[in-house]
A and B are shown apart, each in its own frame.
Chain A
Amino acid sequence: MNKKIISALYKKEITDILRDKKTILMMIVVPLILYPLMFLGSMALFSSILSASTSKAYTVALDGVNDPDAMKQYFKDNEEHFKYTFIIKEPEEGETDAALLEAGTIDAYVAESVSDNHPYFEIAYRASETDSQTAAGMVEKMLSKYRDELRSEAFIEQGLDEKAMMNPIGFFMKDYSSNEENVGFLMGYILPFLLIVSILMGALYPAIDTTAGEKERGTLETLLTLPVNNMELITAKFLAVSTIAVAAAILNLLSMGGLTAFMASSMNMLSDNMNVDLVSFIPSMGVTFICILVFALFASAVSLCSCIMAKSFKEAQNLTTPIMLIFLLGGMAGMIPSLELTEKTALIPVVNITLLIASIFKFHFDLSIIAIVLFSNIAYSALAVVIMTRLFSSEDILFADSAASFRIMEKRADIKKGQIPGMGDLVLLFAILLLGLLFIGGLFAGKFGLWGVIMEQLMFLVITVFYGWYIKVDFKKLFHFNGFNIRGLAGSVLAWAGAYLILVLLSALLAAFFPENADNTALYDLWGNNPVWLAVVSSALAPAICEEVMFRGFMLGTLENKYSAVKAVILTGILFGAYHMSLNGLIIIGLLGIVQSYIVNRTKSIYLTMITHFINNLLAVLSVLYEEQFTKALPFLAGDELPTSTMIIMALSGAVLLSLGMWMVGKKEVK
């Protein structure tokens, strides 16, 4: 990558974007003019409605009232107190309340009757009419005042102490949270949503302009004649869009901040008893600012990634609509009370930023979680940028109709049999599975327990197989559905056992360096509270089949076609590790995934790794369920502190088993 070229391209992109009237409109006019106008307009409207409702006279019909004149007088006497004007009307013969209300001649209809020897008032109104609703509300207020007065009189008549009778006990609430905390709580609700929306709005328009717009205006081919590589081009576009998104977010913040300050001062919110120490918000503001920067990167990457596939403005807008919806929903995550920022939720895009801003405004600073949120956003952005460079080098996307590099976008009837999925398909499927895991996975397990775990696995299996079916892959070849022989089986089991021994050591070592409080207790509890067979089926059998089909089937098969065997095996392992979403998981499970992929790559039989995967997970389930017996039987696999000699023996025997197994499956005649 050439920094000079990137800076030249960046300058070009920024100039190009800023010279577009529509962008300027979105960026400056909306936050700086439209917001204040909307705000002032709604204030004016609100106050005019308020004054109109009090200055207006409402017509109320009184029917069957015991003493109509007294009641009329009561209404009249209280006009001053409630600030309203009533015109009292008595209904004529044959006029019903419903008909009068519908005709609009009256706003409320009050009828008195007797129920259980008590006078009983019915206030009829139409909730769909503003005037009728207001009038009914006023009548209700008036009648309850009337009731209270009658009650007081009754108490006095009986010679009773009204206060003691009505309120035998007293209580009051005392709030110990500081004004700052209250303000922060409120900010945590609103601020993330506003920020996410304004950043996305700031990113979307330039993203469309710089991709689909460039295609539509015909400058894309010009750009391709320049001595620039894809990475430089995408980086420049990405940085330019991010810059605009950050600028838009800051303008929005300033505008909203100014309005809030104006509102606060005009409403005297900042009077003596509501003193807020603004200095205490500086750290939160600082973290929020970093969040804005990082989220701008993420929003720009995601919007560019989808816009790049569109050939026109219109198509780009269609493609970005679902993104907008997802972002809006994610922005509302802070309003779901039970949703807290944990190591898991810190990985969910959009939701994590929302929750982080909400939590720092409640003055909860958990550095490790802040780091996870920021790094995961950067990682997702980087992934999106890499995908973009791939998309951008695809002539299908540059010159042809539209998103053709994903075979799934084609009509199934047009697809020839025996396809091998492309890299676009692989990335798309992986993204679908990852998003499914993040957004739906926990939900299933939470609702249906271990059955949910099985359902989740089956869902992913169905998605993968459907994808393969839709693009008409050669199932046997891509998914490695081939038989195996005894040597292959023995070799696989030995290789797995060797890898397992080494990885047990390695994970103990890693745990010392990166203490990870991976929260598996929920899963362990589920295992303990269910029949053993269900634990085994959900956590050993289902993953052994489903994950193998996903990774050693679809992904390995795709990568083998694209890259050398070594690269394909390693990449599959990395994807497998990344899918398990934790640092230790990435390394340990990634390495296990590499060994598994090697076995399938050599033997072309996915059944072998289904078996080793099953044994592997079975061991994990049993080690939790029968912890005591397990520790007794296989102390070296469970003990936390092992003597050095045992560790050396384990490492050596692991290495021997692994090499022996790999040699056995690697031999040519194994089929």
Chain B
Amino acid sequence: MKIETDKICKQFTRHVNEVNDKGGRKKSHKEDFYAVDHVSMHADSGEILGVLGPNGAGKTTLLRMLGTIMHPSEGSVFIRDDEGQIVKDPVILKKNIGYLSGNTKLYNRFSVREMLFMLAEIYGMDKEASEKRIEEIIGILSMEKFADNRIGALSTGQTQRANIARCLIHSPKVYIFDEPTLGLDLLSSEAIINFMKTEREQGRTVLYSTHYMEEAQYLCDRINMLYQGRIIAEGTPGELMERTGTTNLRETFRALIKETEAEHE
């Protein structure tokens, strides 16, 4: 599957508290701002697309719109199936997307296996197929030890693996992972990184955001650099480094942001 966006925007309102000169009484007013500002981008089958940017750059909002969890306030998202047809039905879209972010928490009162069963039922899988798929996933993510524990009692790394299992259950064609390795130890993040690589080899589309530049440099086929809701640079890690004359992505990131801020002034 292929994802394209055409100048999508997301407008939010924020409260601004002002301090009044007289006695410092607080006044507040609202103002509109673009969290995502006319972004046009694309992600193709068999590639890992990195969405990088500082905190508040709009990564999560952008990924939410791509994952059909939010609707753009302007512009449109096109998701094409393998024949190149645009898929519009939100139910079919959601059946083809595995979405993971820091905000997709799990049901603490269920065990991992129970949760996966419940999800499989909602995805319309029959009992046999779901049992098979669940065993498979437990194997892939090595969750044998805690598959029957309640999710509320799992460690951070185990919870994150359970969360990835949630995205896998329906064998989606597109993965949208918003900071999947955040706060994980080396072993857990390696498992997740390896998983993304295998999925890419199987022709899946992987969209992925992170703050770990080394990880992105190693993993991404292409990178979209997001800053203040806009894409400020796009290309392979190599291209971006070359353009900025840097030797690693960390430096590239710094240089690009400096460049944009200089332009603004």
Contacts and interface: CB of A to CB of B under 8 A. Distances in A.
Interface of A: 2, 4-5, 8-9, 11-12, 15-16, 19-20, 217-219, 221-222, 224-229, 395, 399-400, 410-411, 413-414
B118 A227 contact: no
Interface centre among B12, B95, B118 (most CB of A within 10 A): B118
A221 B123 contact: no
A219 B105 contact: yes
5 contacts: A11-B118, A12-B107, A218-B104, A227-B122, A227-B124
Contact of A16 (B29, B70, B103, B109): B109
Interface of B: 12-13, 28-30, 67, 69-71, 90-92, 94-95, 97, 99, 101, 103-110, 114, 118-119, 121-124, 166
Contacts of B106: 219, 222
A5 B122 contact: yes
A395 B110 CA distance: 27
- Top 7 nearest A-B pairs (CB, nearest first) are A218-B105, A8-B121, A19-B109, A227-B94, A222-B104, A414-B30, A225-B99
Contacts of B119: 226
B94 A221 contact: no
B104 A221 contact: yes
A9 B122 contact: yes
Contacts of B13: 400
B29 A414 contact: yes
Nearest to B114: A15
Given A8-B118, A227-B122, A399-B70, A219 B107 contact: yes
B69 A225 contact: yes
A227 B91 contact: yes
Contacts of A413: 29
B71 A395 contact: yes
Interface centre among B107, B108, B110 (most CB of A within 10 A): B107
Contacts of A414: 29-30
Given A226-B119, A414-B29, A221 B109 contact: no
Given A5-B124, A414-B30, A221 B91 contact: no
A574 to B, nearest CB: 28
B70 A226 contact: no
B107 to A, nearest CB: 6
A15 B111 CA distance: 12
Interface centre among A4, A8, A11, A15 (most CB of B within 10 A): A8
Contacts, number: 76
A226 B30 CA distance: 33
B69 A224 contact: yes
Given A11-B118, A227-B91, A414-B29, A400 B107 contact: no
Contacts of A218: 103-105
B175 to A, nearest CB: 12
A229 B94 CA distance: 11
B101 A221 contact: yes
A227 B92 contact: yes
A19 B92 CA distance: 32
B118 to A, nearest CB: 5
Contacts of B71: 395
Contacts of A221: 69, 101, 103-105
Contacts of A229: 90-91
Given A8-B121, A225-B94, A217 B105 contact: yes
Contacts of B110: 15-16, 19
B203 to A, nearest CB: 22
A226 B13 CA distance: 27
Contact of A217 (B95, B101, B108): B108
Contacts of A219: 104-107
Nearest to A222: B104
A411 B122 CA distance: 41
B12 A400 contact: yes
A222 B94 contact: no
A568 B169 CA distance: 44
Contact of A395 (B70, B95, B114): B70
Nearest to A20: B109
Nearest to B89: A227
Contact of B124 (A4, A16, A224, A399): A4
A16 B114 CA distance: 11
A20 B152 CA distance: 12
B104 A225 contact: yes
A19 B122 CA distance: 20
Contacts of A227: 90-92, 94-95, 122-124
Nearest to A19: B109
Given A4-B124, A217-B108, A225 B67 contact: yes
Interface centre among B107, B109, B122 (most CB of A within 10 A): B122
A16 B108 CA distance: 9
Contacts of B94: 225-228
Contacts of A411: 28, 30
A224 B94 CA distance: 9
A19 B114 CA distance: 13
Contacts of A2: 124
Nearest to A404: B13
A218 B104 CA distance: 6
Nearest to B32: A416
A414 B106 CA distance: 36
A444 to B, nearest CB: 39
A222 B123 CA distance: 13
Contacts of B101: 221
B105 A222 contact: yes
A380 B30 CA distance: 36
A226 B68 CA distance: 10
Nearest to B70: A395
Given A221-B105, A227-B95, A395-B70, 20 more contacts: A9-B122, A12-B118, A15-B110, A16-B107, A217-B105, A219-B105, A222-B104, A222-B106, A225-B97, A226-B119, A227-B92, A227-B123, A227-B124, A228-B91, A228-B94, A229-B91, A400-B12, A400-B13, A411-B30, A414-B30
Nearest to A7: B121
Interface centre among A12, A225, A226, A414 (most CB of B within 10 A): A225
